Amino acid sequence: MPIEYQPYFILIWLAVFSVLYLSIMLLTAYVGGWRRLAGRFPANTQPPWPGDVFRFQTVRIGWFGRYSGCINVTVGNCGIYLKPIVLYAPGHPPIALSWEILAGASFGRSFFMEYLECDIEGTTLWIGGKSAAVIRERIARRRGCR
């Protein structure tokens, strides 16, 4: 390939890669259930309440929505706020869930990670990591147990 065509090749490769990446992100958001939850429980770009931020948490939504170490979870007095890191943001708007929605959550431990599992309008939400212990504590406090 002559040297004068390299810039065009790089630009075409970047364009194809970008379209492919965005397509995969949008498909994951729709098939996995993130868009469904975000449509039902929308949030702004910033948490609607102050709270403790847990970065790089693992979240699963439904059967296909697997987000390993790429979701920031904010645990506040009014609920939790889920927002993906910048690389996963396309097609994944933030989600705000109040404590009332999470009231039926169950908790467990898998290997070295504590997790929360909750059914939200037919969609299973699973959150693993340090945030799950804090969420469990907040829900227990709201239930009046220790």
Six-digit token pair at 145? 């147990």
pLDDT at site 146: 41
* Three-state secondary-structure class, residue 46: coil
Could you list the residue range(s) of the whole structural domain that residue 121 is in? 34-143
Q: Each residue of 48-91: pLDDT tens digit? A: 888 999 999 999 998 889 999 999 999 998 999 999 999 999 99
For residue 39, tell me if it sits in a domain: yes
Quote the pTM value. 0.87
Q: How far is the CA of 120 from the CAs of 6, 9, 30, 104, 112, in angstroms?
A: 50, 46, 16, 9, 25
Is residue 122, in this structure, part of any structural domain at all?
A: yes
What is the rounded radius of gyration, in angstroms, for the C-alpha atoms of the chain?
A: 18
CATH number assigned to the domain comprising residue 51: 2.30.29.30
